[in-house]
């Protein structure tokens, strides 16, 4: 059911879409058909630039619809596996820059979060933000103890706006899915659901602080990457305080050149850091846009903004590494086989057909020199192909592919001849050899060693205790209750069968004896020979026992 506030917003959305020439798209949805005539009242349709490409029109509409839609567009731009290229490229240009909220508001949010006046926390607090985005803004400050920090403050009242806009996105996505055949392929409702999860996560700065702490620990003492420290005592759900860093923004090539940075080494280090995060730490910074990366004069990277991170399962990592290696050997058969063996595509997929499809999309890529090949593009092509063969590409893999594209973009901007494969290959091959074969087994045993060293000293006592219980008849084996029940009724049945056999056998034997004696002088009971009584009763007993047995 649509609420009145949503209805107004829906009319506004329709208005904006019409303004950017997206009305055909909108009016193909039956819900909007009754207002089709409004189109003719929109005089600016006459002024509209008819030759503006559709991607640009969509981008402008999202910008007009506000920061939540802009954020949605940004995330959508990474779904190149779903979107046509022209639209994805335009959406990448969406800027998440919105007017800052007043510094005074930031101050009162901080005071409410700490329940004390701001001057009891900070010696200095700059009310003019360093940066302001749709979810939060960042202020420079200095703690009373002396260290320089930045304070990230969540936008006030952002949650209701997100809730309202998400509600509308679901309505639109539901209608697109229902009524627009071409749109169905894009799985709009799933896309909105994924966006919803991400955006709520970003509203908890404690989560971002925890991500930062984990990354900092992973790179403790590393000369390659520095992560600023989080001041936990001052971090809340809507306020986060961290060490202020100074570095040259990665996009400022002139400044990097002036600092005599070795661009080749820097770009290769970037790739290594990424692969280390994915394969060794299993935790990667997944928002690697240039605004979040800085470089120190001695060539060390610094990263900020930890709202989005990714992790991969061991299977995902194996999948990636094996696929990359097979790809670069141009062993498409192996790539196809890997997908079927691991169940990523249905078991009944024809390996030869899948192989041919992969070859078709990948061969043109290998036409170029290795130094120009993009891993991100390669993965993207693979995902697009695999999707045709019903592979559900997991969101964490899409996140990884997007980050890979960012890293490559940055790397090549720093050093256009960067040979990604040569940089990554030794790393991947080493990792694979650690996962497979004797070395992998040794590693796994080594990993399990601490548990073994705890358990082994307990073994003699355990052994002794078990034997003692067995001797005293106190040994109990715990199994699952259903299994125990099954075993119990089986034993009961066996017992009944034994009783039936013994009772039946004894009575029959008894009857035979009596019959033998009866032969000479039959003993009568109620006019029937005793042997017949015994035979009858034994038969009835055996029958009764067998009947009970059949439960």
Ligand X SMILES: Nc1ncnc2c1ncn2[C@@H]1O[C@H](COP(=O)(O)OP(=O)(O)OP(=O)(O)O)[C@@H](O)[C@H]1O
Could you tell me which residues are annotated as the binding site for ATP? 130-138, 152
Taking the complex as a whole, the smallest distance from the CB of residue 154 to ligand X amounts, in Å, to 9
Structure tokens at 51: 């030759």
What residues are designated binding site?
A: 130-138, 152
Query: Which H/E stretch holds residue 57?
Result: helix 54-65
Cβ closest to ligand X, residue 75 vs residue 325? 75
Structure tokens at 456: 């082994």
Catalytic residue among 81, 287, 305, 419: 287
Cβ closest to ligand X, residue 244 vs residue 334? 244
The maximal CA–CA distance of the chain, rounded, in angstroms, is 130
Per rule CB under 6 A, is residue 534 in the interface with ligand X?
Answer: no
Structure tokens at 52: 């503006």
Per rule CB under 6 A, is residue 210 in the interface with ligand X?
Answer: no
Taking the complex as a whole, the smallest distance from the CB of residue 91 to ligand X amounts, in Å, to 15
DSSP 249: E
Cβ closest to ligand X, residue 133 vs residue 432? 133
Residues linked to residue 528 through DSSP beta bridges, in sequence order? 525
CA 67, CA 63: separation in Å to the nearest integer? 7
Cβ closest to ligand X, residue 305 vs residue 419? 305
Residue nearest ligand X (C-beta atom):
305
Taking the complex as a whole, the smallest distance from the CB of residue 291 to ligand X amounts, in Å, to 4
In degrees and rounded to multiples of 5, residue 388 shows phi and psi of -65, -25
Catalytic (active site) residue 287: yes
CA 267, CA 320: separation in Å to the nearest integer? 22
Per rule CB under 6 A, is residue 307 in the interface with ligand X?
Answer: yes
CA 274, CA 278: separation in Å to the nearest integer? 6
Taking the complex as a whole, the smallest distance from the CB of residue 216 to ligand X amounts, in Å, to 12
Alpha helix stretches (DSSP H) within 148-300 = 158-179, 181-184, 188-202, 205-218, 253-258, 263-275
In degrees and rounded to multiples of 5, residue 274 shows phi and psi of -60, -50
Structure tokens at 466: 């078990």
Taking the complex as a whole, the smallest distance from the CB of residue 119 to ligand X amounts, in Å, to 22
Spell 219-235 as b/e; 16+ CB within 10 A means b: beeeeebbbbebbeebb
What sign has the CA pseudo-torsion 308, 314, 315, 316? positive
- How many residues bind ligand X (CB under 6 A)? The answer is 17
List the one residue out of 212, 299, 219 whose CA is nearest residue 264.
299
Site for ligand X in 276-305 (CB under 6 A): 291-292, 304-305
What binding mask, one character per residue, do residues 150-189 give for ligand X by CB under 6 A, x or -? x---------------------------------------
What binding mask, one character per residue, do residues 212-251 give for ligand X by CB under 6 A, x or -? ----------------x-------------x-xx------
CA 223, CA 309: separation in Å to the nearest integer? 21
Taking the complex as a whole, the smallest distance from the CB of residue 70 to ligand X amounts, in Å, to 10
Spell 94-103 as b/e; 16+ CB within 10 A means b: bebeeebbee
Cβ closest to ligand X, residue 291 vs residue 529? 291
Taking the complex as a whole, the smallest distance from the CB of residue 124 to ligand X amounts, in Å, to 15
Burial of 131 (0-12, 13-18, 19+ CB in 10 A): middle
What binding mask, one character per residue, do residues 108-147 give for ligand X by CB under 6 A, x or -? ----------------------xx-x-xx-x---------
Cβ closest to ligand X, residue 228 vs residue 270? 228
Cβ closest to ligand X, residue 131 vs residue 351? 131
| Segments of 225-291 assigned E as strands | 225-226, 239-243, 248-249, 284-285
Which parts of this chain interact with ligand X (CB under 6 A)?
96, 130-131, 133, 135-136, 138, 150, 228, 242, 244-245, 291-292, 304-305, 307
- List the catalytic residues: 287
């Amino acid at each position: 059911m649509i609420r009145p506030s949503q209805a107004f917003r829906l009319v506004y959305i329709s208005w904006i879409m019409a303004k950017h020439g997206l009305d055909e798209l909108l009016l193909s949805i039956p819900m909007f058909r009754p207002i089709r005539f409004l189109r003719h009242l929109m005089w600016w349709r006459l002024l509209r630039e008819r030759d503006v490409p559709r991607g640009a029109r969509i981008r402008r509409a999202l910008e007009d619809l506000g920061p939540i839609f802009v954020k949605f567009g940004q995330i959508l731009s990474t779904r190149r596996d779903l979107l046509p290229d022209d639209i994805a490229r335009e959406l990448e240009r969406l800027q998440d820059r919105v007017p800052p909220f007043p510094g005074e508001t930031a101050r009162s949010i901080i005071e409410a979060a700490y329940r004390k006046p701001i001057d009891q926390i900070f010696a200095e607090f700059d009310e003019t933000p360093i940066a302001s985005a749709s979810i939060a803004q960042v202020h420079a400050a200095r703690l009373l103890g002396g260290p320089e920090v930045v304070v990230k403050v969540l936008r006030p009242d952002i949650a209701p706006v997100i809730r309202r806009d998400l509600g509308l996105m679901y309505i639109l996505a539901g209608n697109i899915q229902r009524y627009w055949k071409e749109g169905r392929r894009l799985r709009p409702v799933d896309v909105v659901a994924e966006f919803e999860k991400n955006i709520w996560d970003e509203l908890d700065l404690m989560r971002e602080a925890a991500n930062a702490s984990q990354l900092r620990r992973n790179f403790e003492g590393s000369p390659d990457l520095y992560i600023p420290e989080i001041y936990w005592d001052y971090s809340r759900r809507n306020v986060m305080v961290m060490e202020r860093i100074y570095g040259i923004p990665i996009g400022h090539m002139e400044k990097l050149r002036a600092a005599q940075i070795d661009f080749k080494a820097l770009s290769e280090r970037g790739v290594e850091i990424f692969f280390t995060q994915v394969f060794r730490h299993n935790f990667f910074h997944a928002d690697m846009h240039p605004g979040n990366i800085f470089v120190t004069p001695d060539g060390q990277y610094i990263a900020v903004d930890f709202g989005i991170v990714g992790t991969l399962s061991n299977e995902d990592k194996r999948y990636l590494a094996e696929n990359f290696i097979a790809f670069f050997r141009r062993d498409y058969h192996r790539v196809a086989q890997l997908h079927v063996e691991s169940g990523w595509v249905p078991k009944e997929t024809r390996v030869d057909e899948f192989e041919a499809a992969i070859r078709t999309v990948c061969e043109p890529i290998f036409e170029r020199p290795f130094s120009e090949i993009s891993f991100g593009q390669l993965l993207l092509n693979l995902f697009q192909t695999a999707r045709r063969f019903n592979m559900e590409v997991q969101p964490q893999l899409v996140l990884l592919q997007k980050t890979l594209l960012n890293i490559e973009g940055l790397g090549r901007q720093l050093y256009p001849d960067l040979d990604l494969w040569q940089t990554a290959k030794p790393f991947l091959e080493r990792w694979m050899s650690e996962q497979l074969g004797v070395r992998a087994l040794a590693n796994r045993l080594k990993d399990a060693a601490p548990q073994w060293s705890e358990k082994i000293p307990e073994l003699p006592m355990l052994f002794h205790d078990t034997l003692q219980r067995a001797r005293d008849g106190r040994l109990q084996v715990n199994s699952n209750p259903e299994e125990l029940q099954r075993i119990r009724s089986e034993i009961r049945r066996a017992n009944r069968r034994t009783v039936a056999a013994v009772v039946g056998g004894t009575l029959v034997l008894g009857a035979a004896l009596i019959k033998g004696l009866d032969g000479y002088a039959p003993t009568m009971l109620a006019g029937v020979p005793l042997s017949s009584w015994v035979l009858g009763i034994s038969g009835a007993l055996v029958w009764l026992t067998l009947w009970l047995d059949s439960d």
